[in-house]
Structure 1
């Protein structure tokens, strides 16, 4: 099943995001050991088109529990960067 993970950063979290960016990228880069398959992912940005303010993932997983574990183990989650994380099932219609 597909799931969308929408994660918004806490106000002022950009320095912590940048400090943990390499660990986050390494975590996402080693998908063979993860319980999910990343379909796509990337940062959410402010209206200036450049300032990172959160993260968006589209993942495939057997169920919500695996997605929650995947998200919980992300270095950004461990660093407390995200203020709000929403995990929602997704049905692909196009693309």
Structure 2
């Protein structure tokens, strides 16, 4: 069953996010087969990111925890908080998945 992972950056983490961004994107590219969707949470201007949302196709919470722990953003200490929960695909890409 898929998992939703929501990350929350530490205050003042903008410079660290930019410094590690290329490594983070390379990590996601290397695990693309697991990604149902993911992206940054942005401010109202669409400029600054403050965390992210990952929808990952993994079987266990332990796998979801390992996935986010291996993310270069996590390794660099960018995240102040990480929330993980199971997610049910009800609608995806405009289609009913139930």
TM-score between both structures, scaled by the size of structure 2: 0.88
Query: Which of residues 22, 44, 54 in structure 2 aligns to 1:57?
Result: 54
Q: CA deviation at 1:47?
A: 1.9
1:17 counterpart SS class = helix
1:75 and 2:63 correspond: no
Alignment partners' CA distance in 2, 1:71 and 1:23: 14
1:28 counterpart SS class = helix
Alignment partners' CA distance in 1, 2:59 and 2:16: 31
Q: Runs in 1 of length 4+ with deviation above 3 angstroms?
A: none
Q: How many aligned residue pairs are there?
A: 92
- Give the match for residue 16 of structure 1: 16
Q: CA deviation at 1:18?
A: 0.3
Query: Which of residues 85, 90, 94 in structure 2 aligns to 1:88?
Result: 85
Q: Which runs of 5+ in 1 are unaligned?
A: none
Alignment partners' CA distance in 1, 2:90 and 2:78: 32
TM-score between both structures, scaled by the size of structure 1: 0.91
Q: Which runs of 5+ in 2 are unaligned?
A: 93-98
- Give the match for residue 37 of structure 2: 40
1:27 and 2:24 correspond: no
